[in-house]
Amino acid sequence: MDLIRYFLRRLVLSALVVLGVTAMVFVVAQVVPSDPAALYAGPRPNAEQIAKAREALNLDAPLPERFAHFAHAMATGDFGVSYKSRRLISEDLGVYLPATLELAVFSTGLALLLGIPSGVVAAARRGSFLDRFGGLGSIAAVAMPTFFLAMLLQVVFAQWLDILPLSGRMSREFSVIDPLRPVTGFNLIDAVLAGRPAAFWDAFLHLILPALTLASYPAGVAMRLTRSAMIEILQRRHIVAARALGLSEPRILFGHALPNAVGPALTVIGLSFAYALTGAVLVEIIFAWPGLGRYVSEAILSKDFPVIAAATLVVTLCYVVMNLIIDLAQAMVDPRVALS
């Protein structure tokens, strides 16, 4: 019962967030000094072309009318066309959203994979060299500027060692000569569906560096959360009892203690996903990843308002839905959350 009430509360709040975001984007669009008509009229337009675009875009309509139109567009998902490219935004989103989600999911997985085991080990060998080293690593991961880390990873793995691709989503062999048919838009899944292991492997290799860049921060957090959760749990009575009964250490760690660390893991998933979605703005530019981050940052720079609005809304939706799921899962794992 509490759980349902909690969920409903969160749902209402999420709706408020989406509404707030939409309103905020509209306000920003109004205060930004820009002339959508000049943008829509194409490169190097003359006065006549701009006047024509003004009319076509109905820019001289009163504010409330434009807001109504805008709100309708946001609500129905009919985002219209980009001022700059005049392409259908929904079509562009169909290409860029999966690219970003694929990266976000992959980097979240990587963060858990790196952070949780190292947290467990650090907790088990508390105070050891490994623990200290891991502690320093986790702090460093948090303090590292994303864009600088990306550059370093590129130099080391793509240019010096030459074992991973520098950037992009797939090698030209696949992107140009024999492209994957986009079914889900997730290259890994599409490669499996098409039964093409080489393409899968290629897409996988391209994911590693950008995902690692995005995973570094949440992995650092994951390690610290896991470590402290484990330390606390290892001191609890049933673990001490298990130890006294002579159960093997790995068995205690992974069989009894780790399940209690689900809470922090959930936190990290939420954090990592959010981080990947917003960090995409930086990382996608450096790794030439054709995703939402690059799409929206380009739009922001050229003040392509419909694209900004649509992309921001979509990112926020992903963000909010993910948070909702995490909160709910957390409440199910630990009912105290719902009560607070």
Partner 1 sequence: MKALFNRLGPAGSLSLAIILLFVFVAMFAPLVSPYPGQGAGSPNIAAKFRAPSADFWLGADHLGRDMLSRVIFGARVSLTTGFLIVALSLLIGLPVGLAAGYFGGWVGEILMRVTDIFLAFPALLLAVLLAAALGAGMLNCIIAVAVTWWPWYARMARAEVLVLRGQPYVEAARLMGVSHARIIVRHILPGAVRPLGVQAALDVGPALLTASALSFLGLGILPPTADWGQMVNAGRGFFPDRWWYSTAPGLAIFIVALAFSVLGDALRDKSEGRSHADA
Partner 2 sequence: MNRRDLLKTAAVTALATAAYATSARWSLALAQEGGKIITLAHPAGFPDLDPATSFSNDGAVLANVYETLTRYIPARDGQEARVEPVLAESWDVSEDGLTWTFHLRSGVKFHDGAELTSEAVKGSIERTVRIGGGAAFIWSSVASMETPDPLTIVMKLSAPQPMDMTTAAGFAAWILSPGALDKDNAWFNAGNGAGTGPYMVERFEPGQRAILTRNPNYWGTFADGSFDKAVFEIVEDAVLAQSMIESGEADWTYSLPYENLDALNANPDLTVVSNPSFETLVGLYNTRKAPLDRPKVRQALSMAFPYDDVISAGTAGLGSRAMGVIPAGIWGHDDAAPVPQTDLEGARALLTEEGVADTGLELVMTYATGDALESVAAELWKANLETLGITLTLQPMNWEAQWQLAKADPAAAQDIFVMYWWPTYVTPYDYLFNLFHSEPSPNYNLGYYANADFDRMIDEANGLSGTDRVKAEQMFKDAQRKIIEEAAAVFILDRPNIHVIRSDIKGYVDNPAYGHVTFVNELSR
Residue 20 is a binding residue for partner 1 (CB under 8 A): yes
Question: Which one of the spans 95-103, 120-128, 171-179, 267-275 is the region binding partner 1 (CB under 8 A)?
Answer: 267-275
Q: Which residue has the tokens 């864009």?
A: 147
Helix (H, G, I), strand (E, B) or coil at 42: coil
> Cβ of residue 127: shortest distance to partner 1, in angstroms?
14
| Whole-angstrom distance, CA of residue 275 vs CA of residue 323 | 12
Torsion-angle region of 178 (φ positive above 0: left; ψ -120 to 50: alpha; else: beta): beta
- CA 54 to the chain's CA centroid: 36
Q: Residue 122 to residues 7, 126, 222, 231, 321: CA-CA distances in angstroms?
A: 35, 6, 12, 9, 33
Check binding of 323 to partner 1 (CB under 8 A).
yes
219 burial level (CB within 10 Å; 0-12, 13-18, 19+): buried
Q: Which stretch binds partner 1 (CB under 8 A): 41-49, 135-143, 167-175, 331-339?
A: 135-143
Does residue number 166 form part of the binding site for partner 2 (CB under 8 A)?
yes
Residue 102 sits in the site that holds partner 2 (CB under 8 A): no
Window of 43-51, 56-64, 165-173, 274-282 that interacts with partner 1 by CB under 8 A:
274-282
Binding status of residue 271 toward partner 1 by CB under 8 A: yes
Q: Is the four-CA dihedral 139, 133, 227, 110 of positive or negative sign?
A: positive
Residue 81 β-bridge partners:
88
Closest of 74, 34, 41 to residue 56, by C-alpha: 41
Q: Is 164 in the site for partner 2 (CB under 8 A)?
A: yes
Report if residue 165 touches partner 2, rule: CB under 8 A.
Answer: yes
- Which residue, 213, 194, 248, is CA-closest to 107? 213
Query: Interface with partner 2 includes 207 (CB under 8 A)?
Result: no
Partner from partner 1, partner 2, none contacting 17, C-beta within 5 to 8 A by type: partner 1
Q: Which range touches partner 2 (CB under 8 A), out of 4-12, 234-242, 255-263, 286-294?
A: 286-294
User: What mask, x for binding partner 2 by CB under 8 A, covers residues 35 to 74?
Assistant: x--xx-xxxxxxxxx--x----------------------
Cβ neighbors of 84 (< 8 A, separation 6 or more) are: 39, 40, 299, 302, 304, 307
**One residue of 127, 145, 195, 246 binding partner 1 per CB under 8 A:** 145
List the one residue out of 209, 218, 180 whose CA is nearest residue 289.
209
Among 14, 22, 74, 92, the residue binding partner 2 under the rule CB under 8 A is: 92
User: How far is 50 from 44, CA to CA, in rounded Å?
Assistant: 10
Both tokens assigned to 267: 């936190």
Of residues 328, 313, 340, the one with CA closest to residue 11? 328
Q: Which of 93, 121, 258, 274 binds partner 1 (CB under 8 A)?
A: 274
317 binds partner 2 (CB under 8 A): no
Sequence-distant (≥ 6) Cβ neighbours of residue 157 within 8 angstroms: 163, 164, 208, 209
How many chain residues interact with partner 2 (CB under 8 A)?
50
* 163 touches partner 1 (CB under 8 A): no
Distance CA 308, CA 302 (A): 10
Instruction: Indicate the residue among 23 and 285 with the shorter CB distance to partner 2.
Output: 285
Which CB atom, from 4 or from 161, has the smaller least distance to partner 2?
Answer: 161
Residues that bind partner 2 in the complex, under the rule CB under 8 A: 33-35, 38-39, 41-49, 52, 84-87, 92, 95, 154, 158-159, 161-168, 171-173, 175-177, 198, 201-202, 205, 285-286, 288, 290, 295, 301-303
Residues that bind partner 1 in the complex, under the rule CB under 8 A: 13-14, 16-17, 20-21, 24-25, 28, 31-32, 139-140, 142-148, 151, 155, 159, 221, 224-225, 228, 271, 274-275, 277-279, 281-282, 285, 296-297, 300-301, 303, 308, 312, 315-316, 319-320, 323
